[in-house]
A and B are shown apart, each in its own frame.
Chain A
Amino acid sequence: MASCTQVEALIQAHIDGELEASGQVILDRHVAECSGCAQKLRRQQATAAELFEVLRTERLAQDLRGVVLAHLPEMEHPPQDMTDINWRAKHPSSSLGRWGRRVPAMVAVMLILTAALVKAYWPEPPASAYSVGVVLQSQGGVTAFDAASTERHMVPVSKGVVAESSYETGANAGLMLALAGHTHLKLNQHSRIRVDDERRVRLEQGELWADVGNDGRLFRVTVPGGVVTVFGTAFAVRVDRDATVVSVEEGQVQVENSQGFRLVHQGQQVRWAAGEEPSAPEEADIEQAMAWARAIVPDREAEEVYRTQLATPGQEPTQLAAKEVFLIDLMQGGRRWDISALRISWQGPLPSGQAYSGYDVYVYDQYMQPVVKHEVGGTAFTDTREHYIDLPLNETFGSNTKMLTIRLAPKEENALPAPGLEVSALAS
């Protein structure tokens, strides 16, 4: 006869009507002779019955089919392949369509010619480089160079922006870029940025204005000794010799350096000098701080190239991919909970060998004042046989703290997120 342990594992499937015939025979025979398992079966049936009965009143009460079909929005089609952006960008008024349709052989010839031209006049881009945007405006002396070469070239309007390329503006110059994901960047004179990809740029010197579209991913501006993380917003960053200043026109950004982090809201400004933590956000004349950016306006043709090639239409602006924001109500159930740790859990255990994205875990109170930051490395998910990690919260919160906001910012946007990521609180 099967052991009680083996049989116990069959009980739930039996109750759910999901037990295969062979298992059913084993269960029936065992239960007929074992009063212990018969009792377990009855109890488990009673539990299932209670769950079904209690939750029955909460069930879906209407058919959603009709109401959904009556409100269908327009379907969005994913952006086209970006590989031809450089061609189109360099030939904004090209008659490729007319010629191209005529003779396929002609297309081949033209492509070869283009390849030869590119080879002759442009430095070879690195294998990983891909188009992430379009130059919307280029005034005065603007030069660019990419990772494979330090040879500078002038930047024409409508040219594609390749990942891992840098731009530098001279005196009285200005540059405007549009990046995939509805992001616009403007660079003031005497400034230098490097575009790592469409969601990461580094401001090495000077002044950058950014209007960041939300496509579910974070946007980061790295500056010397700090990083600005953006949740869908318009803001400006200025790197002076002695300080970095971040001004927020719309939305909110998080600024961070090795000394601390701050959330900066609309109309506010923070600054920090090397080795100092970011100042408390202060109301400031944002309009004035951004005046230079108003003077840079996009070239129409270049905008059209961007719109047709890289823009994804009609995305609902949100502040942050919401799966990364968690709220913990410390006043649940009519009492106040003291929290000793945060638990990051996932659907695990996960197989080792798979790389997952690590996370920066920012904890704020209900007034969005910073509480503490933790880091969870990508390997933490596979290093444990558990399906969670606990992060201690040593801070004692004042009795005014009624809610914690937890933001998880993936360190590596392109790595896999751990499945079913959740945050819970451990009461002390």
Chain B
Amino acid sequence: MTDDAELVQRTIDGDTEAYGELVSRYQSAVYATAYHYVGRHGSVEDIAQDAFLAAYKSLAGLKDPVRFGPWLKEITCRTAANWLRRNAKRLQNETPLPHRREVHIEDAREGPAQVFERAERIERVQRAIDMLPEHYRLPVVLRYLQDLSYSEIAQFTGMSRDEVRGILYRAGRQLRQVLAERDARDTPEQGDVDWHRARK
């Protein structure tokens, strides 16, 4: 497989197909990162697309093309944060899910009860992820949302594969406990969120 640095160089030299290859390679990671930031309420695909366009625009300024992944991650975070800033006001006024959730095509086959139940389950998993230490969350979302391998996660976050493995092991253990506890209790809303994430 051609390495990132070579694709970056070819892109700078005018080969847009090389950039297409980078998009294919990283679109899952960029999408998952945008999702991690703005959640289900946001225009995740638009943010992912904007992040790739912003990265292309400043690609010639990338000092260490070997670290294209972590650099792209930073740009994605910035793009998502900008989107949040612009939409903070609008999000304030939005009713939380599931009442306003867009119904996707595959949802059409389901009745309102199923749509509601699925939205509940997503919220439940999201809350469990939000209870993890901050630096566990992105690797977890990359793993479970887009099914990325440890190497792919390492390549994108700049961590070593062993660090990724350690984080996913500890995060997995904590998620198991939290989700199992929730199952045991029947009152998921009470007292289980002791601190929660600032929207960025």
* A positions within 8 Å CB-CB of B: 8-9, 11-13, 15-16, 18, 43-44, 47-48, 50-52, 54-55, 57-65, 67-69, 71-78, 318, 321-323, 325-329, 331-334, 337, 343, 345-348, 387-388, 402-403, 406, 420, 422-427
CB distance from A354 to the nearest CB of B (A): 15
* Interface presence of B113 (CB below 8 A): no
Q: Verify B60–A60 contact, CB threshold 8 A.
A: no
Q: What CA separation (Å) do A55 and B150 show in the bound complex?
A: 18
Q: B53 to A68, Cβ gap below 8 A? A: yes
Q: Which of B28, B32, B150 contacts A16 (CB 8 A)?
A: B150
**Contacting pair A333 B96 (CB below 8 A):** yes
Alpha-carbon separation in the docked complex, A15 to B81 (Å): 33
In the complex formed, the residue of B with least CB distance to A420 is B135
Task: State whether the Cβ of B27 lies closer than 8 Å to any Cβ in chain A.
Answer: yes
B160 CB within 8 Å of chain A:
no
A18 with B149, Cβ < 8 A, contacts A54-B125, A323-B81 known: yes
Residue B186 CB within 8 A of the other chain:
no
For A15, A58, A69, A328, which residue has the most chain B Cβ atoms within 10 angstroms? A58
In the complex, the answer to whether B144 meets A65 with C-beta atoms within 8 Å is no
Residues of B1-29 at the interface with A, using a CB-CB cut-off of 8 Å, are 12, 16-17, 19-20, 23-24, 27-28
Report chain B residues within 8 Å CB of A72.
16, 19, 53, 56
Contacts A50-B125, A51-B175, A55-B125; A425 near B49 (Cβ below 8 A): no
The listed residue (B78, B92, B172, B193) touching A402 by CB distance below 8 A is B92
CA distance A65 to B194 in the complex (A): 41
Chain B interface residue bracket vs A: 35 or more
Contact A329 B172 (CB under 8 A): no
**Chain A contacts of B31 at CB under 8 A?**
60, 64
Task: Beyond the given A77-B61, A329-B199, A422-B197, please list 12 additional residue pairs across the A-B interface where CB-CB is below 8 A.
Answer: A60-B146, A64-B30, A65-B27, A67-B49, A68-B56, A73-B53, A76-B57, A76-B58, A321-B78, A323-B81, A420-B134, A426-B195
**Docked complex Cα distance between A322 and B50 (Å):** 15
Which residues of chain B have a CB within 8 Å of any CB of chain A?
12, 16-17, 19-20, 23-24, 27-28, 30-32, 35, 40, 45, 48-49, 52-53, 56-61, 77-78, 81-82, 84-85, 88, 91-92, 96, 104, 106, 118, 121-122, 124-125, 133-135, 143-147, 149-150, 165, 168-169, 172-173, 175-176, 179-180, 189, 193-200
CA distance A249 to B12 in the complex (A): 39
Complex Cα–Cα for A61 and B27 (A): 11
User: Can you list 30 contacts pairing A with B, beta carbon distance less than 8 Å?
Assistant: A13-B165, A16-B149, A18-B165, A44-B172, A47-B180, A51-B175, A52-B144, A54-B122, A58-B35, A59-B145, A60-B27, A60-B28, A60-B45, A62-B45, A63-B24, A64-B52, A72-B16, A73-B53, A73-B57, A75-B59, A322-B78, A322-B82, A326-B199, A332-B196, A333-B96, A333-B189, A345-B133, A403-B92, A424-B134, A427-B195
Would A424 and B57 count as touching, CB distance under 8 A?
no
Closest to B174 in A: A47
Query: Among the listed B45, B88, B145, which residue makes an inter-chain contact with A64, where contact means beta carbons less than 8 Å apart?
Result: B45
CA distance A343 to B45 in the complex (A): 30
CB distance from A49 to the nearest CB of B (A): 10
Q: How many angstroms from the CA of A60 to the CA of B57 in the assembled complex? A: 23
Residue on B with the closest CB to A73? B57
Q: Are B150 and A50 in contact (CB under 8 A)?
A: no
Contact B134–A323 (Cβ < 8 Å): no
CA distance A76 to B55 in the complex (A): 10
Q: How far is the CA of A91 from the CA of B165 in the complex (A)?
A: 59
Chain B hits for A328, CB < 8 A: 198-199
- Closest 4 pairs (CB-CB, A-B): A322-B81, A60-B31, A51-B144, A47-B176
Cβ–Cβ contact A60 & B48, under 8 A: yes
Task: Report yes or no: A427 in contact with B85, Cβ–Cβ below 8 A.
Answer: no
A283 to chain B, nearest CB (A): 23
**B113 → chain A, closest Cβ, in Å?**
16
In the complex, what's the smallest C-beta–C-beta distance from A176 to chain B, in angstroms? 28
User: Which residues of chain A come closer than 8 Å to B118, judged between CB atoms?
Assistant: 54, 57
* B10–chain A nearest beta-carbon distance, Å: 13
Q: What B residues does A323 contact at CB under 8 A?
A: 77-78, 81, 200
Docked complex Cα distance between A77 and B14 (Å): 13
The reply to whether A16 and B168 contact each other, CB–CB distance below 8 Å, is: yes
B198 and A326 form a contact (CB under 8 A): yes
Query: Are B135 and A65 in contact, with the CB atoms below 8 A?
Result: no
CB distance from B60 to the nearest CB of A (A): 5
Bound: A51/B168 CA distance, A: 13
Give the residues in chain A near B91, CB-CB below 8 Å: 329
Closest CB-CB distance, A2 to chain B, in whole Å? Answer: 15
What's the nearest-Cβ distance from chain A to residue B156, in Å? 13
